[in-house]
Chain A
Amino acid sequence: MVEKQLTRERTSSWSWILQAFTGALLLVLLGLHMVVQHFVVEGGLRDYQQVVEYLSNPFVFLLEVMFLIIVTWHALLGVRAILFDLGLQPATERKVTAILSIVGVITIAYGIWLSATIVAQGA
């Protein structure tokens, strides 16, 4: 048998659809992020005080957290897709998914902690 892997068990997958969905959301969220963080600001970057004031707006806080979640998701799902292109064994694939999920949770937690810290510093 040349390609045993061909007869591997097949399982339903949402990854491409999620990637398309998060990608579409990113078009909006990244657009907003770029506009509010860089384009409307003199010099393209907020100084410390401006960042703190800006993030203290709960709506903005929510927007940025959502952006963080979606962008992390899209990025790690993309990394996963590239790794899956390597034709890994199913067990390795499960490990990849688990590790990337952990990385994702840590990244998102860090981002939220960071935003909360900044807001707290301003308060």
Chain B
Amino acid sequence: MEVKPKPVQRKPLEWFNLKGKRVGFWAYVVMRLSAVGLVLYLFLHLVILSQLAVGPAAWDNFVALAKSPAVLLLDVVLIIGILAHGLNGIRLTLIGFGLGVPRQKLMLWIGLILTLVFGVLSALAIFAETK
């Protein structure tokens, strides 16, 4: 009697399903989310730069907008995203070339700490300048 098993449902949302997962998986989720965020930012950034081609007034309007606290806060998020992605990227490159594999978890924590430290420092710097 032909009875078909329940097929595997391939769901991209599983990339972010944290149930039962451990720290390495969290790093992978952060990597993936920051990647998507940074790609969107990159294209947004390039589009905004087109204001430079429009002329001085257009650009200086944008500069004024960019100095509003809300945008500055987004800048902090951006910097944290870059730090997390970049530092974990260093880790992935190193272990991918077989370097420091037994210490990959330690590297992960170091990356996290550096992200937080530099994230806070840059937040302080950004908001200090506006005062």
Quick check: do A and B touch in the complex, using CB within 8 A?
yes
For A43, give its contact among B39, B67, B89, B96 (CB under 8 Å): B67
- Distance between Cα atoms of A42 and B35 in the complex (Å): 29
Given A16-B96, A20-B92, A114-B52, are A48 and B42 neighbors across the interface (CB < 8 Å)?
no
Given A16-B96, A49-B56, are A43 and B129 neighbors across the interface (CB < 8 Å)?
yes
Is there a chain A Cβ closer than 8 Å to B1's Cβ?
Answer: no
Contact check, B15 vs A23: say whether CB atoms are below 8 A apart: no
Contact check, B93 vs A44: say whether CB atoms are below 8 A apart: no
Chain B contact surface mostly: helix
Taking CB atoms, residues of chain B closer than 8 Å to A24 are 90, 93
Is there a chain B Cβ closer than 8 Å to A91's Cβ?
Answer: no
- Distance between Cα atoms of A121 and B3 in the complex (Å): 72
Given A20-B93, A47-B60, A118-B52, are A111 and B46 neighbors across the interface (CB < 8 Å)?
yes
Q: Which of B28-73 contact A (CB under 8 A)?
A: 32, 35-36, 38-39, 42-43, 46, 49-50, 52-53, 55-56, 59-60, 63, 66-67
A72 to chain B, nearest CB (A): 7
Closest A residue by C-beta to B89: A23
Closest A residue by C-beta to B130: A43
Chain A contact surface mostly: helix
Give the number of residue pairs across the A-B interface with Cβ within 8 Å: 72
Closest B residue by C-beta to A72: B42
B44 to chain A, nearest CB (A): 12
Taking CB atoms, residues of chain A closer than 8 Å to B43 are 107
10 closest A-B pairs by beta carbon, nearest first, are A48-B56, A20-B93, A48-B59, A75-B39, A23-B89, A117-B53, A45-B63, A78-B35, A118-B52, A75-B42
